[in-house]
Structure 1
Amino acid sequence: MQNQQDFDSLVGKSKLSDGVDRRTFIQTAVGVGFAAAAMPVMAQTMIKTDTVGLTAGVVMVEVNGQKVPVYRAQPEGKTNLPVVLVISEIFGVHEHIADVARRFAKLGYLALAPELFVRQGDPSKYPNIGELIKEVVSKVPDAQVMSDLDAVVAWAKANGGNTNKLAITGFCWGGRITWMYSAHNPNVKAGAAWYGRLVGDPTPLSPTNPVDIAAGLKTPILGLYGLKDTGISQESIAQMTAALSKGSSKSTFKVYADSGHAFHADYRPSYVEADAKDGWMRCLAWFKENGVV
């Protein structure tokens, strides 16, 4: 497990001026800028990982006639790489998600962050979270997401990735998808779910939730959650823990007493540096423990 000094050396903090015009953060390209609904951006705590020694940028993966943009980062010129899927928050594949992919690439992974909202809309265009959820996120079927991720895994296998060493991690919306895709694809060897929703009422687009698939889950998932998260109750974590106990996945939770939701998001006011770093190190150790390295 890396120590704090190693982490700081790896990713380095970007010293952007507090006076930067927030509009400069809003872009439409995958892996660039931030959605309007994600504002305000906290420039002083943002982490920036360079591309030295990496091949990084957007590739297109076709799924049933739809081209899905995927931010790809990997060590330059390397093959037979362990693969990690990086699943975004509701804000889509913006600069923070791309940076997380580069962090994994610096450690030897082929990291792939697909834009899973591409059919429903551009998350960067919506001015607030309510509209973004209503107009885009709520219209994304789980089945579509599973199909897109299957295609991304197939792309990885054909392009230098060792999908026998497949991991997944995701944040918020992507945290829920981390649980769901791990149940969908038994080839996933390990997952790290950051504050993803665990329970909920079934809908036509999301007929099941993590608590419903927990007993049959085989993949070991590390759940990284905040005690102060007002959207994800400790009761729901207890429900999930009880459901997991009926199966054999060896999943576990780490709940941070001083954190709420989105404590890993270094570009948002919710960021808790100590817990984000600890969670990142636990994620890496979890992947290593389960053979994804």
Structure 2
Amino acid sequence: MSLKTEWVHFEQNGAKHRIYTSRMERAKTPLPVVIVIQEIWGTDAHILDLTDRFAKAGYLAVAPDLYAVDGKRTESMTEERIEQVKAFLEALPPPAWHDPVAREAAMEQQPEKAREELRATYADVFANLKRLPQLLEKLQATMTFLEGYDLSKGQKVASTGYCIGGALSLLLASSDPRLAGAVVYYGHLLNKEQIATIQCPVVGFFGELDGKINAHLPEFARSMQEAGKSFSYEVYEGAHHAFFNDTRGAYHVGASRDAWEKTLAFFNQVLV
């Protein structure tokens, strides 16, 4: 298979943005679009690989770099620095990820320069959990760019997101009527006021062992039904949060296989 991939820079409302784009080189354009919304780790190798997978399925797949500021990363948020934090956390027992005392004790074992870099990047990465409105603005700018982009002009656009990206996929569905469909993988769910403004079908995929997210799933499903919104979902037995990420210990092949098939079927319904 021959893919055409590139980073595209554009300006919208005075701000510069960059997105990773991927499509089959021989596909006639314009093409319907899948926006692939990053995990907390940004547009890392896993997200770019996933974007390529959607391109191989026949779409123009784009992954906005939500951590770029005026089209580039700041020093503490470069891909290399984020990879260092990922490697540090992966070496810890899972409970220590969200235990500040255990995490700080592990950081104290690092050389001074590495320790200070880890602290700065960790803080900047996870601060994005409280910056969803700003990240959403970048997705909306991407939607506007795609309307006039030669490779997607006149075509439908749908989104899929993972973890923080799952929450953003839902927020995009709630805030942008141009979206044709939204997929959420184990992302935080919306309240009734946000649900009321959703205008496209939504599907979701969750792991049985992801208790924090799943605690809100029954209420979300009920509110979607009461509001007359289209929502279907799967909860996979034995699967954890981030079960779809094949670079992490939580990867669950059976859940991922089924979710992938259902995601492609959904996009075939709403985009083609």
TM over 0.5: yes
1:122 paired residue number: 77
Partner SS for 2:219: helix
Separation in 2, partners of 1:156, 1:216:
22
1:135 paired residue number: 124
Please say if 1:170 is aligned against 2:150: no
2:94 paired residue number: none
Separation in 1, partners of 2:61, 2:177:
19
1:204 paired residue number: none
Higher helix share: 2
Count how many residue pairs are aligned between Structure 1 and Structure 2.
230
Separation in 2, partners of 1:248, 1:164:
26
1:271 paired residue number: 251
CA gap 1:187/1:275 in 2 versus in 1, 3 angstroms: same
Q: Deviations over 1:42-84 (max 9, x none)?
A: xxxxxxxxxx422112111223443322110012253120011
Partner SS for 2:50: helix
Please say if 1:72 is aligned against 2:21: yes
1:197 paired residue number: 188
Q: Deviations over 1:126-168 (max 9, x none)?
A: 4246655632342463332232122222332322114541110
Structure 2: where are the runs of 5+ without partners? 90-96, 99-118
CA gap 1:134/1:231 in 2 versus in 1, 3 angstroms: farther
1:220 paired residue number: 201
Aligned Cα root-mean-square deviation (Å):
2.1
1:21 paired residue number: none
Shift of 1:194: 0.5
Separation in 1, partners of 2:154, 2:173:
14
Please say if 1:87 is aligned against 2:37: yes
CA gap 1:210/1:136 in 2 versus in 1, 3 angstroms: farther
Q: Which amino acid aligns with 1:136?
A: V
CA gap 1:163/1:169 in 2 versus in 1, 3 angstroms: farther
CA gap 1:90/1:150 in 2 versus in 1, 3 angstroms: same
CA gap 1:70/1:137 in 2 versus in 1, 3 angstroms: farther
Shift of 1:261: 0.3
Q: Contact conserved, 1:180 with 1:210, CA < 8 A, in 2?
A: no
1:55 paired residue number: 4
Separation in 2, partners of 1:97, 1:164:
23
CA gap 1:266/1:211 in 2 versus in 1, 3 angstroms: farther
Pick aligned residue for 1:258 from 227, 238, 243: 238
2:134 paired residue number: 144
Q: Contact conserved, 1:167 with 1:191, CA < 8 A, in 2?
A: yes
Q: Which has the larger radius of gyration?
A: 2
Q: Percent same amino acid at aligned positions? A: 30
1:232 paired residue number: 213
Q: Which amino acid aligns with 2:183?
A: A
Please say if 1:286 is aligned against 2:266: yes
Name whichever of 258-267 and 73-82 sits farther off: 73-82
Shift of 1:262: 0.4
Separation in 2, partners of 1:261, 1:227:
8
